[in-house]
Structures are given as C-alpha cells and as structure tokens.
Amino acid sequence: MARVFVAGAGYVGRAAAELLAAAGHVVDLGRRTPGAAPRSHAMDVLRPETYPAALGEAGCVVYCVSADTFTPESYRDAYVEGLARVIGAASRGAARRLVFVSSTGVYGQDDGSVVDESTDPRPRGFSGRVILEGEALLAAAPFETTAIRFSGIYGPGRDRMVRLVREGTAVTAKARASLTNRIHRDDCARALVHLVESDTVAPLYLGSDEEPAPMGEILDWIAARLGTAPPPVGGDDAQPSPRGGNKRVSSERLRASGFRFRHPTFREGFAAILAG
C-alpha cells in the first residue's frame, strides 16, 4: 500500500485515483474544485499556499493537470509553472516518485513513421514545446520521475468518432487516410496505476494502443456496428492533417514493462462506448 497524491483529478486523474483506492492505496486528490470525492482537497497548483498537507505526506505524486484553454499562457501555467511548484513542494516531503502525464503532441511527424521514446520530438506548435519544457523539469527533481506521453484520449463522454458517424458529418479524403493514435481513458488510468506500483520506472513511456489506424477505417467500423452509412467524403483536402495524426505511436516500452491493455485496439474501445 502506498500513499499517493493525484494533482489535477480530471477526466483521467479521477479515474486513476479510483483505481488506486480500489487497489488499497491511500489516495488524496488536489484540484481547483474539490467536489465530493473522498479525500479531495481544494488546490491551485500555481498557489503553493493552497497545497494540502497530504501532498507532502505522499510517497508518490501523479501530476495530471491540464491547460484550461488552448493558449501559451494556460499551457505554461499547467505544464511548467504549476509542475515546478508541485515538484518543489513534494521534494520537501516524503515523495519518492512523481508520474507526469504528458502528450504525444510533442511529435510533429506526419509522414506515417513510427515514433517511440528514442524519437526526436518535433513539436509544430506552442503546446508541444511547452510540454517538453515541463518534461525537462523532471530531470532536476530529487526523486525518481517518469513521464508518460498519452496519444488521443477517448472514452465515455469523448466519443467524437461515434458522433461523426451518427451525424453524417463529411470527412475529407485526406483525413480518412491519415493514421491516428488513441488510448481509452480506462487504459490511461490503468497505466498510471502501473507506473505508481512498479518497482522501478524508465524516465519516459508512450501510452497509445497497439494498433494505429486510418481514421476512415475506424469510421467504417463504427458505421458497420451501428448499421448505418459511413460519413460522406467531402471538404477541403488542402487543410492540414488532423492534429497529431499520420504517425505510428509505439507503446512497446510500456508493454515490455508488464502493462497490458484492456482495449488494445480501437475495436475494443469503441465497442465499449457503443455498449454503454
């Protein structure tokens, strides 16, 4: 049993906290609006005076704060300034490990190539550059740290592909052909539990399911399951590829560490959404 503090208990963090508690760990959550979850604390990562004592008492900190808006300032607050303050507070406490939730958005490659932990990131926008700056802070922490770069997170309430099919929204031929990478919310949460509970961790992992797939293949599969026509082809192919698309994200290192996906491909993940 470990004492764990989850900073930023949103879509993924809340699910991870529930799994950690179910596994017998003592889990505290820190978020701007604490809500009704047990051991939940009001906390602003930019204001150390709001940090609860539980942060300093935790042996492991999971940092999964996300930006409020898609602006450089918001990203810097979440992934650099807030992270730096939490690392500082944790370093004065009992922390032995920090798990940082990052993003495969740091990879700008869109040529269909495979990217893994050894691939040189080539962020195309401010978001990827800021997240890399946050990752760099981990190296100076006085305890063990690891970052996990998740690809496109989907799951309950995040079902854009299903809505495209149901609404018959036109999709460009370029978008249909573009490779996409995803991970179900529940596997994100399970991966965080895995990294909390592992005896040792590598500095970096990629979290993405085992089968990158063209967007069109996924839409066609969903349409077949729903018994309807796929979305029509239309729109301007001159527009940029979907953000983060047309690469193959490899999670081989994560799987080699002993992690097993509950939703190893889009089929299992979207089947669960449709069943729900």
**What φ, ψ does residue 9 adopt, rounded to 5°?**
-85, 75
Q: Which amino acid is at 99?
A: V
| pTM, 2 dp | 0.94
Q: Strand 60-63 to strand 97-103: parallel, antiparallel, or no bridges (unpaired)? A: parallel
Domain ranges within the chain, ordered by starting residue: 3-275
Other beta carbons within 10 angstroms of residue 232's beta carbon come to 10
pLDDT at 33: 84
Q: Is the dihedral of CA 197, 201, 203, 207 positive or negative?
A: negative
Distance of CA 36 to the CA centre of its chain: 24
E-strand stretches of 60-181: 60-63, 97-103, 114-115, 144-150, 152-154, 179-180
pLDDT at 220: 97
pLDDT at 242: 46
Tell me how far apart the alpha carbons of residues 151 and 251 are, in angstroms, rounded to a whole number: 10
The architecture of the domain spanning 3-275 is 3-Layer(aba) Sandwich (3.40)
pLDDT at 157: 92
What are the average pLDDT values for consecutive 10-residue runs of the chain, which has 276 residues? 92 95 96 82 96 97 96 97 98 97 95 96 94 96 97 95 95 94 98 98 98 96 96 73 74 98 98 94
